[in-house]
Structure 1
Amino acid sequence: MKEFNSINEVEDKNYVVSVGMYDGVHLGHQRLIEKLKEKSQQLNLENLIVTFEIHPKTVLNANPPKLLMTKEDKKHYLEKLGVDNVLFLNFNKQISEMGAEKFVKRILVNKLNASAIIIGENHRFGNKQKGDYHFLKEIAGKYNFEVYKVPIVKFENKRISSTWVRKTVLEGKLRLTKELLNRFYFIKGYVESGSGRGKRLGYPTANIEGVETKLPLDGIYSSYVEYDSKRYPAMSYIGYAPTYEGEKRKVEVHIFDFNDNIYGEELKVYFVAKIRNEEYFSTEEDLKKKLMIDKNVTLSILADEDLLF
């Protein structure tokens, strides 16, 4: 897959194009990509996804959400799904104020040579959100491109969207998140030294810093940790360590049967299911007893065939 970080880098050829944030690359996005690939094969053209590194609401000063994935991870999943080209368009004030027809004419037609445009049934674009499938159909003849609509994708009769996926993550409903993404939700960061309390308790933890994406609700989670291209069963903690009157929100993972020195290394933490909320314990002995229960629950959950990688 070819990556372009400026519209001027895009190779001068005709494309089948889709535009969107594609945050999370959820099942709805995956259906769009299937249609994109199908049409590019039929027309014997390469496909191109136009997306953004930052959420448009960042420019619009409209309380932008914490994203579900980094730019690098978005690239990885788009390539894995068979996308030929991706353009990370700089969403700036000029683009935010551009009307729908001007965006189509200047960007999609004049700059990207769109022979066909794939759009979700509910997708809207352009200043004041006036562009949609029906709008594209009206101007397709004028600008000589084809347009194809992809129906809404639902789960349990509810439309799948990045907003819904973020809500499931925020609420700690990671099994549902997996259904919407068709994979486990993960975060990634680097291991830094901590207080050493986990080791004293018999559950040494890797303290994860530098996480750029959305964190689940505070609590304990059954997890997998990926390090050096290998995955290990683990339990993860997100919270403020109320037993120790912590003031900073932490992400910690205890990897089962693992003793490597991984300070400074990057880890991916895949969340499988929430075990419990974070709790205050009056003694470390009470905390140790609870952690043993948490470990047994985690191992039981990870033994479920439906929750294996």
Structure 2
Amino acid sequence: MTSSPTTVLTPTAIALGNFDGIHRGHQKVVRPVLDPVLDSDRVIVHSHPPTGQERGSVHVYPTVVTFKPHPQEFFSGQKRQLLTPLGEKAQILERLGIEQLVLLPFDQDLAALSPQDFVEHLLINQLQATRIAVGADFRFGHKRAGTVEDLQAIAQKFGCEVLITPLHRLETERISSSQIRQALINGDILRANNLLGRSYSITGTVVTGQQLGRTIGFPTANLEVSEDKLLPRHGVYSVRVWSNPEASPPSAPQIGVMNLGCRPTVDNSHQRTLEIHILGWSGDLYGQTLTITLEQFLRPEQKFSSLDELKQQIAQDCLTTRQLLHPESPHEV
């Protein structure tokens, strides 16, 4: 699904932007390249000649075009943790119906392109765009000089229509990746999930840990996660766990308790770990890839005076999780 400007399948209908998180607002931007029949409540449509997709004579590939690295990472020189690293972003877009994800290498040459050259050489000549969808705040070209109005005017010369999606709000709050990022850092999972339009997910591989959980009756799976994945506030969470989320049909999730932090009661190190205790599970998960979705923040990380006190709290966390996520089931932990 992932390609470059030189390997892209053309012609294209393009949703253009960074799309970190693919939240509710991003999905509004993506939708016009999937559906040629649009209504004014979803987007502002600037009418131009119909695309091949609309004529039915030529297949126009629904495409998302984004940048790698993130422009802020390029200009700051600092690695940026992402709501949706590349693999995760590709999976979500594919589920939405996007056929290809094109990565524009964001370097000095790209940053120096004028708005005119960016549209003409990249979007029109290389990607053969027949339709371009953007958010109302999209900026492009050297020093972000190009506006959506500029994009419309330039693209119109080549018979390419531009669809501008108004900024999306949930009640009175504007939905943005930065708002979701801050909610996760604060441990406000319900707010983050509401802005995303789905539960925040983390995917990783189960690796061998210190197996301390087994000694206190709560075995855990230690998850190794990509370094560029944004992790939320340290603490304990109610989660759902998929062992094969991409299966068709997908398997039913298990429920569990996730601890993210440095385990101050049983470990003097400051190394962060991500551990999941799956309620009622007794199998071997080593080497498997798990995807967990964060459903609710239970409590911050804390140091207990004894292992017995820790065990009592974990048992309470498990009970709370079962009541929240699976109230009709027995209360095994």
TM-score by length of 1: 0.91
- Report how many residues are paired: 302
Q: CA deviation at 1:228?
A: 3.6
Q: Distance in 1 between matches of 2:81 and 2:124?
A: 32
In 2, Cα distance between equivalents of 1:301 and 1:132: 46
Q: Are positions 1:47 and 2:91 aligned together?
A: no
- 2:6 matched to 1:8? yes
Post-superposition shift, 1:63?
4.1
Q: Equivalent residue for 1:260?
A: 283
The aligned amino acid for 1:273 is Q
Matched, 1:33 2:30: yes
2:48 equivalent in structure 1: none
CA displacement at 1:263 relative to structure 2: 1.3
- Specify which of 125, 142, 146 is matched with residue 161 of structure 2: 146
Q: Distance in 2 between matches of 1:219 and 1:207?
A: 15
1:74-117 deviations in Å (ceiling 9; x for gaps): 11111111123321222222112222221111100111112221
Distance apart, 1:130 and its partner CA: 1.4
Instruction: Find 2:302's aligned residue among 279, 289, 297.
Output: 279
1:176: how far off? 1.4
Residues 2 and 90 of structure 2 are in contact (CA less than 8 Å); yes or no, is this contact kept in structure 1?
Answer: no
Q: CA deviation at 1:15?
A: 2.3
Aligned residues with identical type, % of pairs: 31
Judge conservation of contact 1:53–1:71 (CA < 8 Å) in 2.
no
Question: For residue 238 of structure 2, what is the aligned residue in structure 1?
Answer: 222
Corresponding letter in the other structure for 1:42: E
Q: Detail structure 1 runs of 4+ shifted over 4 Å in the superposition.
A: none
Distance in 2, Cα, partners of 1:243 & 1:4: 44
Cα-to-partner distance string for 1:254-307 (whole Å, 9 max, x where unaligned)? 0011111111221112110000001111111111111111111111111379xx
Q: Over aligned residues, Cα RMSD in angstroms?
A: 1.9
**Unaligned 5+ residue runs, structure 2?**
37-50, 246-250, 329-333
Q: Deviations over 1:184-203 (max 9, x none)?
A: 11111111222222111111
State the 1:4 CA deviation: 4.4
How do residues 191-210 of structure 1 correspond to structure 2 at under 5 angstroms? 191-210=206-225
SS at match of 1:10: coil
**2:98 counterpart SS class:** coil
* Residue of structure 2 equivalent to 1:102: 117
CA deviation after TM superposition for structure 1 residue 67, in Å: 0.5
Match of 1:302 in 2: 325
- 1: CA distance, partners of 2:235 / 2:211: 19
Alpha-carbon offset, residue 220 of structure 1: 0.3
Deviation string 1:177-218 (CA, Å, 9 cap, x unpaired) is 211222111111111222222111111111111333111100
Indicate how the Cα distance of structure 1 residues 195 and 85 shifts in structure 2: closer, same or farther if over 3 A, else same.
closer
The range that moved more, 179-188 or 251-260, is 179-188
**Change in 2 beyond 3 A, CA 1:221/1:202:** same
2:54 aligned partner, one-letter code = Q
Q: Is the counterpart of residue 183 in structure 1 residue 198 in structure 2?
A: yes
Bigger fraction of residues in helix: 1
- In structure 1, what is the Cα distance between the partners aligned to 2:226 and 2:302? 23
Q: Is the 8 A contact 2:119 2:154 kept in 1?
A: no
Range with greater deviation from structure 2 (252-261 or 187-196): 187-196
